[in-house]
Amino acid sequence: MYFYERFCLWLGHLKLSRVIFMVSVLLFIVPLFTHYSLSKYAESGTKTDNPMRYSLEALGDISTKNAADLKMRIEEMLRIRASISTELRELEAKRGRLQVEAAAASTKAESAKAMHLRAAAELQLLRVSADQARLEQLEAIRRDSPQLAPPLQILPSRPPPVLPAIAPTSEVHCRMFSCFDHSRCSLTSGFSVYLYDPDVFVPLAGAEVDGFLKTTLRQTLGYNTHITRNPNEACVYLVIVGESFPFEKTSTSTIDTYKLLLNETAIKNLPFWGGDGRNHILINMARRELSVGSGDAFRGTSIGRAMVAQSTFTHDQFRPGFDIITPPALGPPGGDVWADCAPIAPARRKYLLSFQGSQTPPIGFDKDVDSSLIEILQKMVKSAPATDLFLLQFECDPTVEKRAVQAIGDWALCGTDRSRRAVLRDSTFALILAPADRTYTSTALLQARLYEALRSGAIPVLLGGDRIRLPYEEVLDWRRAVLSLPRARVVELHFLLRALGDADLLALRRQGRVLWERYLSSVQASVDSLLATLRTRLLIPARPAPPTVGVPAFNESYFPPRLEPPAVEAEPEETLGPLEAPYPSPAYRRNYSVALLHGYESWNDWLDPFALYPQLPWDPPVTSEARFMGSDAGFRPLGAGAGGTGKEFSKALGGDRPREQFTIVILTYEREAMLAAALSRLRGLPYLNKVIVVWNGPSSPSAMATWPESGAPVAVVRPSRNSLNNRFLPYNLIETEAVLCVDDDANLRHDEIVFAFRVWREHRDRIVGFPGRYHAWDLNFNNGFLYNANYSCELSMVLTGAAFIHRYYMWAYWRTLPAAIRDHVDEYLNCEDIAMNFLVSHITRKPPVKVTSRWTFRCPGCPVKLSQDETHLLERNKCIQFFSQVMGYTPLLSTQYRADSVLFKTRISHDKQKCFKFI
């Protein structure tokens, strides 16, 4: 059909040219022929010898006989000329019309050709999508495991039955298998905890629990998700013991000792004691024991099968795997504690080692000879080079401090809290000496020294650590934060301290700080850690982290009607992937395996063992063989496993992970036209699961006449207040691991988005995106880092205006990041992207990944951006410095790496196709 139209058009042009040529020849030849005819006519007349006569006769003949005929011929020729001129004008008009028709036909042919190419691409896309749908159907038929969800609770319905009490001599042998009732704590119980009201149940001899501690514990436990008000469904029962213990004073020689009195009858008469106290936890978080007495509330007291959680234990009293060592209640009730911490850098401080304390020798106990230990330390100070400064004070000033009476040979604290903090902030290492009484495995004073050292950033050096236990040590790896040495190593102490490099010192100090902040810094942190330790011991999953419920911006009776977006220039002529129905990422598949395989990491690296998440960035992949043998459900290998180039690449996701999709979260502020354009650009984007629009304006969106069809479900949510932090709310509407955060004015091509998504799948724990930035050192004032938006061969941030992140980090932004940082973002309406980069680098200790060459995003026709304001950059400088102050260091890491497409500049054969044609 196309060639026939071209032939007809050519034939029309040919006929018109021939007519014009013939008319032109006629107009030129006729006058010449007339003149020639007249000349011949004169010559063919009667000839005479007088030429003049012949001429006159001829002239007379013309004038008399042929004038009328000549006039008629001339008029005829003029008529012919006029007629031909008219025909020429008509032919010219017709030629113009034919040219217009020819141009229209050519345009139509080109359009038909483009439509054919688009239809062929759509057909190919539909074939790929159909193949994927058939695979999904087969996998659904073969699936032999149910889709998992947060575990449903299976709870007991009756209080513990009364059982005979055990003999006091058997209590010391209690372990989880012999003294704990697991039947009340099923794997799906959720670990319900019941708190005895401290105003009603007072297990003390004639005294009440200290009001501050009682109020603080009740309040902090009220925030814990495991607390229940129904004692019949409880797994464990908490009993608060302390702080205002009654003391019985005794005198031995010249040393005054104090015995803490506990009302055994009051404990054993607790309503759910069950005769033997199983599943009960007696909590002693007393603070007075730091100044008076041993702090051991339960020594010599019968407590049945109940667990004990306190700071002071003897070796024969502590039951490993059963009792729990906790820090004393030294910190605030809860909240941010960053202001109490010292910065991590520099690695080396004024004093190499410091210690302040005094000791009262114990009477009648087996003890180490601390005098010889002190002599060795003093010799170490004298023999050290002048560059190594020590501050070792083994006697308190009696005119300043009132020494505590200690019956266990422990080292009392010297000075005030402020003076000790000042010394520790100037110390690289803080010396902690185990008590002279070898029968103690932990004391409240030792735990207090550990607490103060970690808070001030002084690396604890625990001499006698081979017989000392630290808080929550069954889940916390203290080897990464504390140097624990036997006392025999004291002669090698100086050598060891000098052998550690700056990187090791900073790693120890950083880990000590994060452990202190997360598990010891406040009463709430300590209580939450106590319950999480016991829950981890029982292999019970944590409660699911509650998502944020997205409140619809439109009421239930109205939603903008869909509008098919206008035809725009198609994406580069390549297939980017199949169009599939929304497919959520499988959730809660590792409810019972996270604690088994990643229990260590959740406590020591990720720093969030307190909640269960639907997915984690660190979920392990299967082995390569398993993708084809037995565990192949959901996988989409390239070329069915044979690999391939662009054609095979566009049909499947490939990689070591099952198929998945991503969610786009768009933050907008009352820019409906720009939002509509952003949504229309998403039409036909592969692997798109859902679009969530966070309407950040003070008023509801207007009832727009039309809503552009993006090809995926669109949800518009309106947060309770205007905040840039809303970009990272963990909405319940998000059902995929991958989340693409974009601004409403970010114009990304489909191939760029798909490429970034593929890169993110291999770097799931990092930020993967387009606009790179750098934290540059302030060369002028040397007082911190500045925000650098210039081109640089290194980068340390990828802005979340166009970046992929894992869904988990949206929870971590609200649960792990200090609240002071989010408050700073709200105050300046800026820097939420820097905060997310700080968080991810802090957790992973890895830099982000930048993809392709995009650096900034242009928006023609958009109003002037906030980011173009000079004050915007100044505020971002302040953000980096403030965030570093809050976190104690700058967690950002530099990278010189950028991800580009495989076969980007590779020359390949004509029958092969690159992974991405234009990337």
Show which residues are catalytic: 833
Name the DSSP letter for residue 164. P
- Residue 560 · residue 510 · CB < 8 Å: no
- Residue 588 · residue 582 · CB < 8 Å: no
The Cα 786–Cα 880 span in angstroms is 7
- Taking the alpha carbons at both ends of the chain, their separation in whole angstroms is 37
| Pairing mode, strands 459-463 and 483-485 | parallel
CA atoms within 13 A on the CB side of 657: 20
Name the DSSP letter for residue 335. S
CA atoms within 13 A on the CB side of 918: 13
| Pairing mode, strands 772-777 and 785-788 | antiparallel
The Cα 725–Cα 548 span in angstroms is 13
Q: Which residues pair with 668 in a beta bridge?
A: 695
- Residue 54 · residue 48 · CB < 8 Å: yes
Helix (H, G, I), strand (E, B) or coil at 29: helix
CB-count exposure of residue 542 (10 Å: 0-12, 13-18, 19+) = buried
The CA distances from residue 558 to 517, 555, 702, 703, 720, in Å, are 47, 6, 11, 8, 20
The Cα 684–Cα 576 span in angstroms is 10
- Residue 636 · residue 129 · CB < 8 Å: no
The Cα 890–Cα 880 span in angstroms is 8
Helix (H, G, I), strand (E, B) or coil at 813: helix
CB 907: neighbour CB atoms within 10 A? 6
The Cα 330–Cα 339 span in angstroms is 15
**Complete edge-to-edge strand list for the sheet that includes strand 797-798:** 785-788, 772-777, 797-798
Residue 110 amino acid letter: E
Helix (H, G, I), strand (E, B) or coil at 415: coil
The Cα 92–Cα 100 span in angstroms is 12
Name the DSSP letter for residue 585. P
Spell out the SS3 assignment of 739-800.
EEEEECCCCCCHHHHHHHHHHHHHCCCCCEECCEEEEEECCCCCCCEEEECCCCCCECEECC
CB 290: neighbour CB atoms within 10 A? 20
